[in-house]
Chain A
Amino acid sequence: MSNVPEGPAESRLEQVSRILIDDSSRVPVLIWFTSSVIWLLLGSLAAMISSIKLHHPDFLGGIEWLTFGRIRPVHLDIVFFGWSSMAAVGALLWLQARLCHVRLPWPLLLSGLAMVWNVGVVVGSVAVLAGHGSSIEYLEFPAYCAPFFAVPALGVLAANVKMYLGKNSQHTYVSQWYLLAATVWLPILYVTAMLCTYFGLVQGVSQAITNWWFGHNALGLWVTPIAVATAYYLIPKVTGRPVHSYHLSLLGFWSLAIFYNWAGTHHLTGGPLPAWTITVGVVGSMMMFIPVITVAINHHMTMRGVFHMLKTSPTLRFTVFGSFMYTVASFQGSLEALRSHQEITHFTQYTIGHAHLGLYGFFSMIMFGAMYYIFPRITNNEWSSARLIKVHFWGSSIGVLAYGIGLCWAGWWQGLMMNDPSIPFLQTVEYVKPYLILRSVSGAGMTIAHIAFAISVWRILSRHHFVMSGPTLFTTERPAWREFVNEQNKREEMAQ
């Protein structure tokens, strides 16, 4: 015990317990995270194929399995179910255990659920490639895939509630609200949408409303709260500065909960729906300014004066970029919901650009940041190369900005041209083509970034480059603590 750093007993306990909690989440979180990284690569592959096909339609032409109308939904579903949701669950489990000061319950069960989820994504993707998709965006996977997602979602909810009920921390941190609510929302959303869609519970245009009630909420009430929760933890934690205003963060949470789920119908503006359903969607979208502004103020004020840390911390770089993109994409999204705006941009590449600024620029970047923070702490290893991390950051950030700005610009003009009947339709197709090529180029940049990231992850997992006392793990002189923890564990085992 001689090599354990000195300190008051209480603080020593706090640190040890943090390590024990991180350890307890190791296996499940690693499985959820590693799976998500594999899906990220496959999702990028599907993205590249679809993107190239859109400007060179004969690329891989003649292969029915890879026709645009199948590979594009496969890209979306892999990225949503495989990458985003699995990364989100990993971050959620780790974060909730830490914030509740409890060990992660049921590690075996949660690992098994990750595998069930993986099977669901594999089965669903193959089904869509084979032509069994439903052409209902975000719900393409056939009905028989639903249990593969519904059961793990309920399991994650149960684990989350169990941690929360048994928490040892005196205070509730704002992230915990978001995490808990997100795990309540996902199963309700998914099961309800699947029942309505596949069992004929709703007819006619109500199917389309259900579709966008799910599609929009799956982003806003499942992945968004988890990314916001992660940013609310990581930005203060990495910079060592408490959140600027805790009041604001609570206001932000409840306004998100109340308004976001009404916004989905803005995807149907001008469609064959009663006008009031669209109006509700527009109002909901406008009210989203409240939660977005609160998060923006909070994160910016927390970072004020410490922006130089972006140079030295990979986690912070990704997370702050993501948090900034949350503001940008949300402002854009709220404006986009307005009827006058939708008249131009609906049905164009603008929507695609916006979706990527949100799901990639905001959500994925925050998840990358979270993984850069969490992987070393649960593998007890250091990232192998700062260069790979930088390739990842610049590839992703420049890629998504070029992608988003390029497509939004193209979509705006495409929409104006489409609304002018004197311009032949094919001219709008011709106009967009160069931007579609730009999309493939920026997509390639992001794919390279993902490969760099995957190499980093492979190295940290395989202990290709093993460093136990590197700067990521520096603060608590982990090796010494680890010995202490191991001894504690042995003692506990002996006592049992």
Chain B
Amino acid sequence: MFLISMIIWATALLGAVMTVWALTWAIKRGEFRNLRQGAASIFDAGEPIGRQTDFFPTSGKGVRP
């Protein structure tokens, strides 16, 4: 029982250390830089910021090509 609980705690500790390590590593590599541009990256000139891109369909027939 003692051995088991030691293993559980050791794994938990290892997990925590690895998480912290991964986070530091990611920050050092600049993973969290340029975040604002990231948020804007889904817009382009055709569908710029500030333009709604979805509406209910209106009635009225379109043109068959």
Contacts and interface: CB of A to CB of B under 8 A. Distances in A.
- Whether A and B touch directly in their complex, counting CB atoms under 8 A apart, is answered as yes
A432 to B, nearest CB: 39
Contacts of B19: 258
B8 A276 contact: yes
Interface residues of B, number: 36
B46 A472 contact: no
Contacts of B45: 7-8, 10-12, 14-15
Interface string B33-64: 01111111111111111111111111111111
A17 B32 CA distance: 28
Contacts of A99: 42
A470 B57 contact: yes
A206 interface: no
Given A467-B62, A476-B46, A240 B38 contact: no
Main secondary structure of the interface of A (DSSP, over half): helix
A314 B56 CA distance: 6
B56 A389 contact: yes
Given A15-B47, A237-B42, A476-B46, 8 more contacts: A7-B45, A15-B46, A99-B42, A236-B42, A238-B54, A250-B32, A372-B54, A465-B61
Nearest to A10: B45
Interface residues of A, number: 56
B42 A233 contact: yes
A247 B35 contact: yes
A389 B59 CA distance: 13
Contact of B49 (A11, A173, A241, A372): A241
SS of B interface (majority): loop
Contacts of A479: 65
B39 A242 contact: yes
B48 to A, nearest CB: 7
Nearest to B64: A466
A268 B14 CA distance: 26
Contacts of B38: 171-174, 246
Contact of B47 (A169, A171, A475): A475
B62 A382 contact: yes
Contact of B57 (A238, A309, A383): A383
A474 B44 contact: no
Interface in A373-405: 373, 382-386, 389
A472 B38 CA distance: 25
B53 A386 contact: no
A122 B36 CA distance: 46
A446 interface: no
B32 A247 contact: yes
Nearest to B12: A280
B54 A169 contact: no
A315 B65 contact: no
B38 to A, nearest CB: 4
A240 B54 contact: no
Nearest to B45: A11
A68 to B, nearest CB: 40
Instruction: Kindly name the residue among B40, B49, B53 whose own CB sees the greatest number of chain A CB atoms within 10 A.
Output: B53
Given A237-B53, A389-B56, A466-B64, A173 B32 contact: no
A207 interface: no
Interface in A218-260: 233, 236-243, 246-247, 250, 254, 258
A476 B47 contact: yes
Nearest to B34: A171
Interface string A126-159: 0000000000000000000000000000000000
